[in-house]
Structure 1
Amino acid sequence: MVKILLGLIVLINLGFLFYFVRDLLRHRAEVMTEPAATWALPFSSFFIFLLSTFGISDFAISTALCPKAKWVSIKKLPGTLNTQCVIPVAAMALSDITAITVDIKTLAICIIAAVIGAYIGPRFVVKLPADTIKKFVMAGLLIAALMILAGKFNWIPANGTATSLSGWKLIMTAILLFVYGALNNIGIGSYALTMATVYAMGLNPPADFPIMMGAATFSVSTSSIQFVKLADYSRKITLFTSTFGVLGAVFFVKSLDTSMLQWLVIIVLLYSAISMALSLRQKEEA
């Protein structure tokens, strides 16, 4: 089953690469003229996905960084958050999924639900006004900060023993994974939300990982293909993160103490959310 899952991950990501490379070739004259700083992207890409391996959301860090640095507009931010993480997330999944300790039916239903949500989402996101997207992005920043806090203070229970779900628990989990897959499209990462959900449903911690990684890599690949087709993303940022983000995703530093770094990230996320809220308020008053 591990080989089948990893094989499917490779296939869906090859599908994304086909559409992405084709789009790059069609717009090769425009890619390097996009506003993101060429000299900074390799470093930011590496460290964003290095931090992601320690559970710090790449969606959250990129959301705090890219608009502030004026690397991408709010309108194209959701698509960029999805497309930039496809290859690094696939690399993490291929590196880290070494066993499947969850019932295959539960795993399949969770992944399919997330993929359906991810497939539907982009068609609605591209039609949203920039201010509406900004409000969703603010919510994503706050959720990311709260989930880091929840992890630090052990507010998320992780003492379940089940390896499968059935009945209302499976239905509720599938509905929530569908929602998380859709929320990915507006910049709200699904890692921590998926983890909290399966823990709350009583699954044991090792069972969470293939669900979390499988749902994430299949859903972001699916949604990103749509964003590429709709040309609603930053090609330059996606190109650099697909190259240098992979290095961060597979570069493990087990001795790194991230406790203080997590507090710093929480402060940055809250500051970014408050800044966006103030700018929206000033705009409304004007």
Structure 2
Amino acid sequence: MVKVLLVLIALVNGLYAFRFASDFLKHRKEAWAEPGNNLFLAVWGAVVFFLSTFGISDFALSTILYRAKKFVSDTKLPGTLNTQCAIPVAVMALAYISTIRVDTITLVSCIVAQMIGAYVGPRFVVKLPAGTIRKFMGAGLVVAAMFILAGKFNLVPSGGDAVGLTGSKLIIAVVLLFIYGALNNVGIGSYAPTMATIYALGVNPAVAFPIMMGACTFSVPMGAMEFVRLGQYGRKITFFSSVFGIIGVLAAVFIVKSLNLSMIQWVVAAVVLYSGGSMLYEELFKVKKLCESEA
């Protein structure tokens, strides 16, 4: 089953790579004329996907940079965020799934659940206030990070070292991953919640990496191919991120594989705390700014 999964990842992302390469070559003059220093974009691609491999959102980091530097217009920003990460995320998934031991049933169940959530979710999630969801999710992630840190300091029992889930725990994981897939549609990334969930259910935190990357590598290229077809994305950014992002991914994967369980727990705590804190800050700061402008 794992081999089948790896082949499917290669096929889906290979199709995306072919379509992107064809479009880039067709519009190469326009692409090279797009804003952004080539060397800077190459270094950025390696750095941002190095961090992304640890679960830090490349969407959030890239949005801040591209808007500040005016590398792409707001209309092309969503497409660029999707197209630039498709190949690096595929490399993450291939590397993690093939090197980190994880129960096949758990892996496939969680990936399928998140994919279904991403597909079905928009019909329900769009009716919910995104700001309220982010506040609750942010608070939940901060609390989860506190529990992880409490475990590190022996204040509460810490996470386990299992490589899979069974029974009620597997059902809980599937339901939550379905929800996380749906929440992607309101801009809430699934990396940090997946990390926190895997940890809370007593599984080795490293197992979260192949699960969260595996789910993304099937959903992202589907949307990315549509942006390529419409031409609504930054071609030069996507080129440099696709090439040099792989370097950052491979460097980070090597580090994750060489870390022991204790160090991975610290990494998970840091990512979950950062994600929850930044989510709360963004929503609360937005409300405060809005109140001041109305006053």
TM-score between the two structures when normalised by the length of structure 2: 0.69
The 3 A distance-change label for structure 1 pair 115 and 278 is same
Post-superposition shift, 1:43? Answer: 1.3
The 3 A distance-change label for structure 1 pair 63 and 154 is farther
TM-score between the two structures when normalised by the length of structure 1: 0.71
Post-superposition shift, 1:242? Answer: 0.2
Between the aligned residues of both structures, percent identity stands at: 46
Determine the C-alpha separation between the residues in 1 that align with 2:193 and 2:36.
Answer: 30
Correspondence list, 1:1-286, <5 A:
1-99=1-99, 101-119=101-119, 146=142, 153=149, 158-159=159-160, 161=162, 163-167=164-168, 169-184=169-184, 187-252=187-252, 254=255, 273=282, 277=286, 281=290, 285=294
Q: Summarize deviations over 1:188-214 as a string: whole Å, max 9, x none.
A: 332222122233344343543332221
The 3 A distance-change label for structure 1 pair 147 and 10 is farther
Structure that is richer in helix per residue: 2
Q: RMSD of aligned C-alpha atoms?
A: 4.6
Letter in 2 for 1:153: L
Letter in 1 for 2:149: F
Unpaired runs of 5+ in structure 1? none
User: If you compute each CA radius of gyration, which structure gives the higher value, 1 or 2?
Assistant: 2
Post-superposition shift, 1:40? Answer: 1.7
For residue 251 of structure 2, give the secondary structure of its aligned residue in structure 1: coil
Determine the C-alpha separation between the residues in 1 that align with 2:274 and 2:117.
Answer: 28
Post-superposition shift, 1:41? Answer: 0.6
Determine the C-alpha separation between the residues in 2 that align with 1:43 and 1:147.
Answer: 34
Are 1:91 and 1:249, in contact at CA under 8 Å, matched by a contact in 2? yes
Unpaired runs of 5+ in structure 2? 153-157
Letter in 2 for 1:221: P
Post-superposition shift, 1:70? Answer: 1.7
Q: Summarize deviations over 1:34-60 as a string: whole Å, max 9, x none.
A: 334434211111111222334433223
Determine the C-alpha separation between the residues in 2 that align with 1:216 and 1:21.
Answer: 21
- With 25-34 and 104-113 compared, the bigger mean Cα shift is at 25-34
The 3 A distance-change label for structure 1 pair 54 and 151 is farther
- With 242-251 and 183-192 compared, the bigger mean Cα shift is at 183-192
Are 1:111 and 1:214, in contact at CA under 8 Å, matched by a contact in 2? yes
The 3 A distance-change label for structure 1 pair 100 and 19 is same
Determine the C-alpha separation between the residues in 1 that align with 2:232 and 2:51.
Answer: 26
For residue 42 of structure 2, give the secondary structure of its aligned residue in structure 1: helix
